[in-house]
Amino acid sequence: MRTNHGSVFMALIALLCAGTAGNLLAEDTAALVRSPSPPGASVTIANLEDGAVVPPTFLVQFSVTGMTIVPAGTDAKDSGHHHLLIDVVELPDPNLPLPMSDTIMHFGKGQTETELTLPEGTHTLQLVFADYRHIPHDPIVMSVPITITVAAPASDNQ
């Protein structure tokens, strides 16, 4: 039997134009409903304070209270994993998965620390705890941003 692919394609276009695309889009959007966070849940950068001076390579430790750390993809109540925002001025849309970039680091294996290497200068660090899909909870569980200064150690040859 011979199939007329052009007719099949045109039928698909007709279905999409008839509203099927809108229904599919609505279903995809509904699937992105944010997971609730429990009252009092919080995250902090455990080992650094606002104003800290650090060497170019340093350790950042994450802490969460009131929620459980699980790997990305694990759908469990009151759970998620850390995301570290570096020098992010405007938070990404909380209704969408956090993008992965040089400034938004994902810790989807459930890691609670990382070693960072940053250029000398002033930087901001902030944690966001997100669900199994990398979508921030509702309400958002995020730390207060801290400002650090990266400075090379003084040379002993002076």
- Summarize the confidence of residues 113-134 as an average pLDDT: 98
What mean pLDDT value characterizes the chain?
Answer: 85
The class that CATH gives domain 42-150 is mainly beta
Share of the chain above pLDDT 90, in %: 75
pLDDT for 153: 83
Among the residue ranges 18-22, 75-79, 96-100, 151-155, the one predicted with the least confidence is 18-22
Instruction: Sketch the domain layout of the chain as residue ranges.
Output: 42-150
Instruction: Give 93: exposed, middle or buried? Use CB within 10 Å, 0-12, 13-18, 19+.
Output: exposed
Quick one: pLDDT band at residue 25, thresholds 50, 70, 90?
A: very low
Q: Is the pTM of this model over 0.75?
A: yes
